[in-house]
Amino acid sequence: MFRRLALAALSCAALASPLAAQTYPERAITLVTGFAPGGSTDIASRMISERFAANIAPGGRMVVENRAGASGVVASDWLRRQAPDGHTLMLIEVSSHGIAPAALEGGTAYDPVNDFTHIGMVGTAPLILVVNPSFPGRTPTEVVTRLRNSRPEEFAYATSGVGSIPHLAVEVMALQLGTRFTHVPYRSGGLMLTAIHQGEGQFGIAVLASAAGQVRDGLVRGLAVTSRERFPSFPDIPTLNESAIPGFEMTTWNMIIGPPGMPPAVLAQVNRALAATVSEAPIRERLLSAGVSAWTGPNTPEGARDFMTAEVTKYRDVVARTGVRLQR
C-alpha cells in the first residue's frame, strides 16, 4: 500500500510541472526591481517588460514594481518568500547579489546562489565617471589628477545607495588613487545624477544605463567608462583604463530571477521568453542606446546560476580589498 502511495505521489509531481506550464500565466506577471524609478534596473525592466510578457504567452501582461531599499536587498529578501509560480520575477544587478552578501555585517538573510531560481541574463553595462559641469578639469586625466591630489574627503561623491555598485566603484578608485572622498548616498541612479548636476555631489561613478540621458543632455559631464573597451553608443568617451587609471575595470549586469522552487516547465517557458526577448533587434538597439549590452552568449538557467556563483566569489574579494562595510 505504501509503495502504491509513493508511486502515486511521484506521478502527481511529474504531472504538476507540465500542467502548471499549460495554465501559466494565469494573471499579470510582476517584474520587481530593488530601486526607485529612474535607475538602471528600472530602465532595463521597462524596456523589456512588454516583449518579455508577449514572449511568455500571447496576450501576456507584465507590470514593473519598484521595491526600493538597501540597494536591492529589501526586494530580494521579499522575493524569496513569494509563491514560486512564475507570477513574481525580479530584475537584479550586482549590488544586491554580489556586493551586499559580502559587505553587509552578518551577511544578507538570503543566499544569492541557493535561495532563488536563476532564470537568465538580460545584459551587461559599464559604469561611467561623471562630474558636475563646473568641476575643475576637462579631460579624464585632469579630473583624476585633481582627485588624486585632493585633501582627504575634500570632494563629495554621490551614489545610488550604500552598497551599490557606484559606491563600491568609487571606493576602488579611491584605493587606487590613495585618497578618500565623502560619500553622499541617494535612493536611485536618477536621484544620484540629479544631485551631481545640482552640485550636492561633485562627482560619481554611475551605471551608464542611468546616466546616458543626462550625459547626452550635458546635465553632467561623462568623462570615461569603466569597461575594457569603449561603449558603442558613446564612441568618443574613452575608458578609464586607457585615459587615466591603468587597469581599472568594473561593470555591472542584469539578471532575471524568481523565488526558489519554480516548476521546471514554467522556468523553461520563462527562460525561453527571456532569451527570445534579448535577442530581438529592436530590444537590443533600445538597450544599447540606454547603455546596456544585451546578452549574446548561451542564456540558460544553469548558466545564470554559474554566473552568479562566480560573481559572489569575485565581489567577496573586492569588498575585502576596499574595506566597505554595510550596517543593518
Encode pLDDT of 191-233 as tens digits: 999 999 999 999 999 999 999 999 999 999 999 999 999 999 9
What is the C-alpha end-to-end distance of the chain, expressed in Å?
Answer: 52
Q: Domain 126-251: which CATH class?
A: alpha beta
Domain boundaries for CATH 3.40.190.10 within the chain: 126-251
- Residue 259 burial (CB count, 10 A): 21
> DSSP 3-state helix, strand, coil percentages of the chain (rounded to 5)?
45, 20, 35
10 has a pLDDT exceeding 70: no
Domain boundaries for CATH 3.40.190.150 within the chain: 27-124+252-322
3-state SS, residue 52? helix
19 has a pLDDT exceeding 80: no
Question: 242-295: per-residue pLDDT in tens?
Answer: 999 999 999 999 999 999 999 999 999 999 999 999 999 999 999 999 999 999
**Among the listed residues 259, 253, 23, 313, the one whose alpha carbon sits nearest the alpha carbon of residue 119:** 259
CATH for the stretch 27-124+252-322: 3.40.190.150
16 has a pLDDT exceeding 70: no
What the block records as the C-alpha cell of 170 is: 568609487
pLDDT band of residue 3 (cuts 50, 70, 90) is very low
